[in-house]
Structure 1
Amino acid sequence: MENTEGNAIELHGDEEIIEVIDLNEMEPDPDDLADDLEDVDFEDPGNADDEGWETEDEMEAEAEQDDSEFTFSKHTGSVFCVSLDPKTNSLAVTGGEDDKAYVWRVIDGEVLLECTGHKDSVTCAVFSHDSSLVASGDMSGLIKVWKLETKEEICSFEVGDLEWLEWHPCAPVLLAGTDDGNVWMWKIPSGDCKTFQSPASQATSGRVLPDGKRAVVGYEDGTVRVWDLKQGNAVHVIKGQDGHQGALTCLAFNKDGSLVLTGSVDGRAKLVNTTTGKVVGALSVEGGKAKGSKDEGETNSVESVGFCNILPLAAVAYLDGTLAIYDLSTQALRHRCQHEAGIVHLQWEESSSMVSTCSLDGALRVWDARSGNMVSEYHGHTAEILDFAINREGSLAVTASGDNQAKVFCLQRPDR
Structure 2
Amino acid sequence: MRGHQEDTPPSSVNGDEIMGMDGENEDELIYLGELDEIQFDDEEMVDDQEEEYDDVGMERPEDHAAMVFDKHTGSVFCCDLHTSGKIAVTGGEDDKAYVWSVETGQIIMDCTGHKDSVIFVGFSFDGAYLATVDMCGLIKVWKCNLEENQQQPWSVAFEYEADDLSWGLWHFGSRVLICGAVAGDIYVFKIPSGDTKVLQGHNIRTECGKIFPDGVRLAAGYEDGVVKIWDLKTNAVLHQLPSGMHESRVTGVDLHPENNLLASISTDGKVCLTTSNNGKVVAQLQADNDLEAVVFCQDVQLGYFALGTLNGSVTIWDTARQMIRHSCAKSEEDVSAGVTKMIWVNDNLLTGCLDGSVRLYEGRSGARSAMLTGHWSEVLDLVYNAKENIILTTSDDGTARIFKYPVKSDND
Q: What corresponds to 1:59 in structure 2?
A: none
1:155-193 alpha-carbon deviations (Å, 9 max, x no partner): 211222211111122222111110111011111222221
Q: What corresponds to 1:97 in structure 2?
A: 93
1:64-79 matches, cutoff 5 A: 64-79=61-76
Contact 2:209/2:218, CA 8 A, preserved across alignment: yes
Which of these residues, 292, 302, 305, is aligned with residue 303 of structure 1? 292
Could you tell me how far apart the structure 2 residues matched to 1:317 and 1:30 are? Answer: 30
Q: What corresponds to 1:314 in structure 2?
A: 305
Which of these residues, 56, 78, 83, is aligned with residue 80 of structure 2? 83
Q: What corresponds to 1:253 in structure 2?
A: 255
Closer, same or farther: CA 394–324 of 1 in aligned 2, 3 Å: farther
Deviation, 1:29, is 5.6
Closer, same or farther: CA 178–32 of 1 in aligned 2, 3 Å: closer
Q: What corresponds to 2:365 in structure 1?
A: 371
Which of these residues, 204, 208, 211, is aligned with residue 205 of structure 1? 208
Tell me the TM-score normalized by structure 1: 0.81
Which of these residues, 178, 183, 199, is aligned with residue 186 of structure 2? 183
Q: What corresponds to 2:33 in structure 1?
A: 46
1:287-366 matches, cutoff 5 A: 288=288, 300-310=289-299, 311-338=302-329, 339=334, 340-349=336-345, 351=346, 353-366=347-360
Percent identity of the aligned residues? 38
Q: What corresponds to 1:130 in structure 2?
A: 126
Q: What corresponds to 1:278 in structure 2?
A: 280
1:182-226 alpha-carbon deviations (Å, 9 max, x no partner): 011111222221111121111111112122211111111111111
Aligned length: 360
Q: What corresponds to 1:55 in structure 2?
A: none
Contact 1:113/1:148, CA 8 A, preserved across alignment: no
Q: What corresponds to 2:386 in structure 1?
A: 392
Q: Structure 1: which 5+ runs fail to align?
A: 1-10, 13-27, 48-61, 289-299
Which secondary structure does the structure 1 equivalent of 2:328 belong to?
Answer: strand
What amino acid is aligned across from residue 14 of structure 2 in structure 1? Answer: L
1:111-140 alpha-carbon deviations (Å, 9 max, x no partner): 322111111110111111111111111111
Tell me the TM-score normalized by structure 2: 0.82
Could you tell me how far apart the structure 2 residues matched to 1:392 and 1:209 are? Answer: 22
What amino acid is aligned across from residue 230 of structure 1 in structure 2? Answer: K
Question: Which of structures 1 and 2 has the larger relative contact order (alpha carbons within 8 angstroms, sep 6+)?
Answer: 2
Closer, same or farther: CA 148–256 of 1 in aligned 2, 3 Å: same
Q: What corresponds to 2:5 in structure 1?
A: none
Closer, same or farther: CA 330–64 of 1 in aligned 2, 3 Å: closer
1:73-120 alpha-carbon deviations (Å, 9 max, x no partner): 1111111111222x3233221111110111223233343221111111
Contact 2:267/2:291, CA 8 A, preserved across alignment: yes
Which of these residues, 90, 108, 129, is aligned with residue 112 of structure 1? 108
Q: What corresponds to 2:148 in structure 1?
A: none
Which secondary structure does the structure 2 equivalent of 1:277 belong to?
Answer: coil
RMSD between aligned residues: 2.3
Q: What corresponds to 2:399 in structure 1?
A: 405
What amino acid is aligned across from residue 45 of structure 1 in structure 2? Answer: L
Could you tell me how far apart the structure 1 residues matched to 2:323 and 2:141 are? Answer: 43
Contact 1:268/1:301, CA 8 A, preserved across alignment: no
Deviation, 1:301, is 1.4
Q: What corresponds to 2:222 in structure 1?
A: 219
What amino acid is aligned across from residue 302 of structure 1 in structure 2? Answer: L
Could you tell me how far apart the structure 1 residues matched to 2:264 and 2:101 are? Answer: 33
